[in-house]
Chain A
Amino acid sequence: SQKIEQNSEALNIQEGKTATLTCNYTNYSPAYLQWYRQDPGRGPVFLLLIRENEKEKRKERLKVTFDTTLKQSLFHITASQPADSATYLCALEANQAGTALIFGKGTTLSVSS
């Protein structure tokens, strides 16, 4: 079965720096990969989706890359702010039909001022 790994449980950076989070997957060739943000006590919120034929996608201060050869996605937050502190989850389709998602365990980002 497919497996997703986010190799850092926690990442601490200073305000203004770029945060880079990693998501690796195995046993699968997904059509797309998604990133979500989760704040304490709340449900995940969708941030970005990148398709297999896209190398990079940007949204404001967020950038996602997708390397299907390495089976890896990188999630960047530039000019990070304390408000960016949260847990970030990557997600893939649970099956070929894309009718559900499976998630990595998440990386908790803390941005200090």
Chain B
Amino acid sequence: NAGVTQTPKFQVLKTGQSMTLQCAQDMNHEYMSWYRQDPGMGLRLIHYSVGAGITDQGEVPNGYNVSRSTTEDFPLRLLSAAPSQTSVYFCASSATSLWGTEAFFGQGTRLTVV
């Protein structure tokens, strides 16, 4: 059972380049989210999705685009990378139950923008 899979694990970009961080889950979860984690800042919500075709902005959406064409996949796009986007990115999936919304995280993508 793979859970949440993120690719790549590491990436170095030059300022202005674009790239897509991939995220896939095999748990048939309706909700998916992207976070960035920076030292001293904790996990900050970038974008999230409540189902295929539906996305919304989180705390720090600027500079990032997302789409959700299938339940399984939720890619995060950086259209023009900036050094301020150097961070560790985590994708999470979750599904609401009577007990709340437990999130399952991928292993992260460490992105460096030079």
Q: Which residues of A in the span 14-54 have a Cβ within 8 Å of any Cβ on B? A: 31-32, 34, 36, 41-46, 49, 51
A98 touches B100 (CB 8 A): yes
A34 touches B100 (CB 8 A): yes
Nearest chain A CB to B58 CB, angstrom units: 7
B105 touches A43 (CB 8 A): yes
Residue of B nearest to A4 (CB): B42
Residue of B nearest to A30 (CB): B100
Nearest chain B CB to A56 CB, angstrom units: 16
- B42 touches which one: A46, A98, A103 (CB < 8 A)? A103
A105 touches B41 (CB 8 A): yes
Residue of B nearest to A51 (CB): B100
Nearest chain A CB to B90 CB, angstrom units: 5
B101 touches A98 (CB 8 A): yes
B107 touches A102 (CB 8 A): no
> Count the A-B residue pairs with Cβ separation under 8 angstroms: how many?
71
Docked pose: A102 CA to B96 CA in angstroms: 15
- A42-B107, A99-B31, A99-B50 are known contacts. Are A105 and B40 too (CB-CB below 8 A)? yes
Contacts of B31 in A (CB 8 A): 99-100
Docked pose: A76 CA to B42 CA in angstroms: 21
Contacts of A42 in B (CB 8 A): 107-108
Nearest chain B CB to A6 CB, angstrom units: 8
Residue of B nearest to A31 (CB): B100
What are some 15 contacts across the A-B interface (CB < 8 A)?
A31-B100, A46-B102, A46-B104, A93-B101, A94-B45, A98-B101, A99-B48, A100-B31, A101-B33, A101-B45, A101-B92, A101-B101, A101-B103, A102-B43, A104-B42
